[in-house]
Structure 1
Amino acid sequence: MDSKRDEHKGEIRRATETGTLGKLMALVDLVALADNPMRFTDILSLSDQPRGTLHRQLSHLVEEGLLETDRDGRYLPGIRLLSLASRSWARNEFRTVAEPHLRLLQAQTGETVHLGVLRGTEVIYLDKVEGRQSVRMYSQIGNASPAYCTGVGKAALSALDDIGLEARVSGLQFHAYTEHTHRSVADLQADIAAIRARGCAFDREEHENGICCVAAPIRSDDGDILAGVSVTGPAYRVTSEKLQEWAPLVKVAAAAIMQDVRSRLGPRR
């Protein structure tokens, strides 16, 4: 809990350098990503803003529908966010291009397939095709996970060149989600080197206990898209042998998505 609290404080502190909009968006992120509705005092404890300033900012966000309050005065994501997210998801060309390949991969493996895009040091889940036997896991469309301990995230990081990778991970704060999570930049860079060599990434219970996956990188020719596609399932069913068996299928899916990105989306600049 303390590590999550420190992450939120760091995000808000960095946002102070981006002006008013950055501060407001940091508050939206804080409330939207919280496990439970937040009281004003909860937000105040995570913010460097004066009480009066914070109250005004939250009031503006409520007026705009980006946040709302319940009967106890606690803050929740506003319905306008749902509308914006729905439109963004529906109109996302990359997701549309990738979708048939995700469905084919799910049909081939029977397990859950994810599409995630790299944003900073996090991976954002852009699409998810549930397996035949769905398993409760953290991933949901729109959720963010650390790139350093997820298959999709590590695959996307491997698509960066050495300079780009160093820039993203040099100041990374590592949180031990499980006993298998990377603890240092050196460990992560060694893993990335192995991922580049074999063309796929493995997550063997690094982010969630009992969850394993194999992923492959996706990169557009101009580098605007850095992403990954994965097959994920419970460790008792998704063995190391299964991950090795599915690796070629995941790599084929990633290559097919990249080919369609080239032919259907073309240059993005």
Structure 2
Amino acid sequence: MPYHGERTQMSGTGTLGKLIHVLEIVTASARPLRFTDILERSGQPRGTLHRQLMHLVEEGLLDHTDEQTYVAGLRLLTFASQAWNGNDLRSIAAPHLRRLQEQTGESVHLGVLRGTQIIYLDKIDGKHSVRMHSQIGRVSPAYCTGVGKAALSLLPEAVLNTTVSAMEFHSYTPHTIVSASELKQEVETIKKRGFGFDLEEHETGIQCIAVPIVATGRSYSAAISVTGPTYRLSRERLEGWAGIICEAAANISSDILVRTSPNHE
């Protein structure tokens, strides 16, 4: 089966990086994977992958089921839970995300850039249930998501060039950006305008408006978005919310600055 860009591209080529890559393959799958599935997706030699899986199972990071498949282990889930609970960006943004969801009635997201991917740190579903790819903890390509492109707009030019050059563009829909030059042009527009869009670029029938979060004193690049179906949200309606979304992002930035203040307890 095709495996287009849903794994993060932040793992290195060393031993640890390869182990992380295997974890990403297993945890990103919607179903438990057999050894042959992981072998196909990892590109590792059969013997090497077997040893890697054995080590990950021994450490409790993966479980090998009676059905001869691999799933996330309890130790990995514990790490994930501790990371989410201890994430200060998520806790700082939470009240502003809730307010934004109440104001728009649509789903809101918080994402942070890691390598060429965006990780969804938080999501509050809208009043109307809409099936979409985004879930807390999942990753998506930055080049075709609103929060991803908005987060990219915060990068210094040299870092942006390096990040974009490492991207593998895949056309998810007829509207997906599939070239580095087009992406850079859109990122430049976001820098000037203060917000950007995902107009059915990652998922057909889903659109959003996204705004970067200026996180003074922090090393991450993050953004928030309001997302919904195209039959309810035109580009004009999304753009009409630019003011309140920019205000929410500014308030999050302000709270981050307070949190980093030497006088903050």
**Number of corresponding residues:** 262
> Within the alignment, does 1:144 sit opposite 2:142 as a pair?
no
Q: How far has the Cα of 1:11 moved from its partner?
A: 5.7
Asked if structure 2 preserves the Cα contact closer than 8 Å seen for 1:105 and 1:250, the reply is yes
Compute the TM-score of the two structures, normalised by the length of structure 2: 0.93
Q: Which runs of 5+ in 2 are unaligned?
A: none
User: How has the CA–CA distance of structure 1 residues 98 and 174 changed in structure 2, closer, same or farther, with 3 Å as cutoff?
Assistant: same
1:57 alignment partner in structure 2: 52
What is residue 249 of structure 2 aligned with on the other side? 254
Letter in 1 for 2:61: L
Shift of 1:3: 4.9
Q: Aligned ranges for residues 221-240 of structure 1 at < 5 Å?
A: 221-240=216-235
Query: Cα distance 1:187–1:234, how it changes in 2: closer, same or farther (>3 A)?
Result: same
1:2 aligns with 2:10: no
Report percent identity of matched pairs: 53
Per the TM alignment, residue 35 of structure 1 is displaced from its structure 2 partner at its CA by 2.8
Shift of residue 83, structure 1, vs aligned partner:
1.5
Alpha-carbon distance between aligned partners in 2 of 1:87 and 1:35, rounded to the nearest angstrom: 23
Query: Displacement, 1:48?
Result: 4.2
78, 81, 96: which one pairs with 1:83? Answer: 78
Q: CA deviation at 1:46?
A: 3.1
Structure 2: distance between partners of 1:185 and 1:132: 36
Of residues 26, 31, 39, the one that matches 2:26 is: 31
What secondary structure does 2:170 align onto? coil
Aligned CA-pair RMSD: 1.9
> Do the aligned partners of residues 200 and 77 (structure 1) sit closer, same or farther apart at CA in structure 2, a change above 3 Å counting?
same
Q: AA paired with 1:180?
A: H
Q: Which residue of 1 aligns with 2:61?
A: 66
SS in 1 for 2:241: helix
Q: Is the 8 A contact 2:25 2:42 kept in 1?
A: no
Q: Is 2:177–2:201's contact at 8 Å kept on the other side of the alignment? A: yes
Task: For residues 70-98 of structure 1, give each alpha carbon's deviation from its aligned partner in whole angstroms, at most 9, with x where no partner exists.
Answer: 22201111122222111111111111111
User: What is the aligned counterpart of 1:44 among 33, 39, 47?
Assistant: 39
Asked if 2 retains the 8 angstrom alpha-carbon contact of 1:31 and 1:75, the reply is: yes
Mapped to 2, the partners of 1:186 and 1:55 lie a distance apart of 41
Residue 198 (str. 1) matches residue 201 (str. 2): no
The answer to whether residue 208 in structure 2 is matched with residue 213 in structure 1 is yes
Give the superposition deviation at 1:7: 7.4
Output the amino acid matched with 2:98. Answer: R
Q: CA deviation at 1:42?
A: 2.0
In structure 1, stretches of 5+ residues that fail to align are none
Q: Is the 8 A contact 1:3 1:175 kept in 2?
A: no
The one-letter code sitting in structure 2 at the alignment partner of 1:202 is: F
CA contact (8 A) 1:68 1:75 kept: yes
Question: Which position in structure 2 is the counterpart of 1:93?
Answer: 88
Change in Cα spacing, 1:101 to 1:7, as seen in structure 2 (3 Å) is closer
- Do the aligned residues in 2 keep the contact of 1:97 with 1:260 (CA within 8 Å)? yes
Corresponding residue number in structure 2 for 1:162: 157
